[in-house]
Amino acid sequence: MKHVILKSFAVAAMFMSIGSAQAQLAKDNPCKFLGNITTRGSIPSDYATMWNQLTPENETKWGSIANKEVQTVDQALSSWNWGAAEKEYNWCKQNGVQFKFHCLLWTSQYPGYLKDFTGDRLRKQIDIWFEACSRKFPDVTIIDVVNEAIPGHAEGDNGGQAKTFKRNLSQAMSGSTNPSDYKWITEAFKLARKFFPNATLVYNDYNTFQWQKNEFIDLVSTLVKQGAPIDAYGHQSHDLNDMSGSDFKSRLYDIHNQITQKSGRELACYLTEYDIAKQGDNGQKTRYSEQIPIAWEADFVAGITLWGYVHGATWVDDSGLIKNGQDRPAMTWLRQYMASDAAKKATARFCGKAAGGPSLTLASNESTIALGEAVKISATMTDAKHVNFKANGIEIKDKWVSPFEFEWTPEEPGEYKIEAVGYDSKDNKATATMTIKVVEVGPYGGTPAEIPGRIEAENYDNGFSGKAYYDLSNGNTCDDYTNYYRNDDVDIKKIPDGVALGNCQKGEWMNYTVNVKESGTYKATIRVGEGNDDGKLTISLGDMKESITVEKTGAWGSFAEVELPKVTLVEGEHVMKISIDQDWIDIDWIEFEQVFTQDLESAKAEPVAIVPNPAVNTICITGVKSLKSVEILDLTGSVVLESADEKISIEDLNSGVYVVRVTTEAGIYVKKLVVKK
C-alpha cells in the first residue's frame, strides 16, 4: 500500500541488543514466523521480545535509498542513502530476527530522478539497483521483488506519473509497452534470482481477498507460466476488516488452489501487511481470533507480518496492538494463541524460517503440455551435489551432475505431481514440488471435420490454451454462461438455432483439425456477427490464408454469411486456424463447398494421370482426349505455371507439393504433384 516516505530515520537511538533469552511469540514453531515492521523508521526496544521477522516499512524502498543517477555499482554503494536500511539489517542479524527486503520495484515509490528515464538508460539503473542491494544485504532471506502491479494499482501517484513509469519499466525490462502482459515482472524475478540465489522471492499486492482476487490469481499464475523464478505470493491483507473467519478461510484456500491449478506449481503464501482497524477493541480482537488461526494453521502459509503494533504509529489508524504501553484485547489474545499447542505445532509445507537456508527451486518450460511432447524440467540449488526427481511418486530422473535438468516425455495424459529432492555437499536436504498437466490434443469428438462440409465454430480442437485455442478472458464471459457447452476459457453463447463463439477479441484464435477429402477448388462461407462498425479475422488452412473484414451485421446477436474468395485445398488432414484480428466478432460456422463436380462417366473415359510423380524436370498429362489447359498452383492457391500441352517442363519449379488443375471438354480434374529436385 501507500506508505509515507520518512525524511529522516532515528534508527540507532531505538536499537536494543537482545540476547538469546528473547521470547518471541512464534519462537516455538520451527517453520513459521510472526513478524512486524519498523515504527516511524525505528525499531522499538521491545521488538525482539515479540516478533521474529522484520520488514522495513519504507527504509529499503528504491525511492528511499537511490538519490541520483550512477554509472557503476560501486558509485551506488558509496553515494546512495543506505544508512537506515543497513542498520536495521545488521540489527536483525545480531538479534535473531529474520530480515525481509521490501521492495525492489514499485511504481508508487521510485527515485524521482528516474521520472523521464526510458529504455537502456532506465534498465541500467535497475541492474545497478538490484546488484547493489545484493552486495549490501547478502544474507537477506525474503524479498518483495515487485509490489502492487495489478492493472490500476500504484498508477495514480505523482499526478499519474506512476502509470507512465510502469510502462517505462515494462519497456526497459522486457521490451513490451503493455505492462499488463507482466513480462517485465517475470524479467524482474529472473534478475532477482541472479543476484539473490538463496532468497525467497515474493510478489506482493493488495485487495487480493476482495476486489482484485481474480486479477491477483491471473497475475501470479501468469508469472509462473512465463518462467519467473517466483517462490511465494503475498497478501497485504489490509482488506479484512469486515470479513468473517469462514469467508476469509474460503478465499484464502480458494486463491491458493486456483494459483496452484492455473500455474501448475504450488507457491508459498505469506500474509505480508496484516492489520485490523476501526473495529474498536472487541471488534479487533474478534477479527484476530477468527482469522489468524486460519492463516497460521494453513500449511501453505509460511509466515505472517503485522503492519505495525504501536498504537498511534501505524499506517492505518486504530490498528495498533499496544496502546500507552498496555496490550489491547487483540494483543492479549495473540499472546495466548501463540503459546498454544495449535500454534506451536502448526505445520508448514514451506518453511518460512528456513528461507535463508538450503532451498531448491523447481521449474519447467511449460506447465501444460500435449501428450507426446517433451517438457524440460530443471532444479536450482546452491552447492547441490544430487537431485532426485519423481512424478506421482515414481522416479523419472536421478541426477548427480550439474546442470540438474532433463527432458521428460509422459506416456499418458493426466496431472503429474513433480517432486525434486536435493542434497548439498553437507547433505542438507531441500525439496520442491510442482504440477505438470498432460493433455491429449486433437479434433473435437475424436474425428477430423470433413471438407467439403460445415464446421461449427464451437467445435474447435480438444486441448488447452496455447495449443488448441487462445482466449484472453478467464472463463466463459458470454451472457453469463459459465462453462457452457465447453469447459474452458473460450467464450461461447446461445443463439436461436444453437450455439456460437462470442465476444471474440483481437489476438484470440481457435484450431480445427480437418480432413480434405479431395484436392480441388472450394468456395468457403462463414456465418458471423458484428455489432460494431467492423471486425477482422484470418482463416488459415495449410498454406492458404484469407483475411476477412466483417462489416456490422446489425444489433448484437444478428448474423450474416460472408463468402471468401475461392481457394485451392490439397486432400489430407490439416489444421485450420481462425484468428481474430479486430474486436468484436461472433462466429457460428464455416462451410466449404467444391466449386466443380466431375462427370463420373467422363472420368472413367478419361483416367487423367501425371507421370512421373514425383517429378524432377518434365511431366506428362496422360489419359486426356480433349485437353484445354493445364494450371499448376502452389499451396497458397497462386498459379505458378500454365500450359496447353500434354508435355510440360517444370525446370523452374522448386521442390515441394503443387496442385495441377487439368481442364478438358469433359470437366476439370485436380491432381497432386510432388516435385523433387
Closest CA to 334 of 291, 299, 303, 300: 291
Give the helix/strand (H/E) hosting 545.
strand 544-551
For the chain, counts of helices (H) and of strands (E): 12, 38
Closest CA to 581 of 546, 527, 543, 538: 538
C-beta separation of 352 from 303 below 8 A: yes
The DSSP output letter for 318 is: T
Measure the CA angle with vertex 193, ends 106 and 437; round to 5°: 100
Closest CA to 422 of 352, 360, 378, 340: 360
C-beta separation of 106 from 203 below 8 A: no
**466 to 225, 462, 471: CA distances (angstroms):** 11, 12, 9
Q: Which of 57, 59, 88, 148 is catalytic?
A: 148
| C-alpha to C-alpha distance for 593 and 595, rounded to whole angstroms | 6
CA 388 to the chain's CA centroid:
27
Sign for the CA dihedral angle at 207, 504, 497, 539 comes to negative
Q: How many CA atoms lie within 13 Å of 409's alpha carbon, on the beta-carbon side? A: 4
Max Cα–Cα distance, the chain, nearest Å: 109
| C-alpha to C-alpha distance for 273 and 55, rounded to whole angstroms | 9
Residue 563 annotated to the active site: no
Long-range contacts, stretch 280-286, CB < 8 angstroms, 24+ apart: 281/328, 281/329, 281/330, 282/329, 284/318, 284/319, 284/328, 284/329, 284/330, 285/328, 285/329, 285/330, 285/332, 285/333
CA 318 to the chain's CA centroid:
38
Residue 440 annotated to the active site: no
C-beta separation of 223 from 186 below 8 A: yes
Residue written as grid cell 482466449: 471
What is the amino acid identity at position 271? L
| C-alpha to C-alpha distance for 559 and 355, rounded to whole angstroms | 58
Phi, psi of 146 (to 5 degrees): -130, 140
Q: Which of 59, 88, 266, 273 is catalytic?
A: 273
Catalytic residues: 148, 273
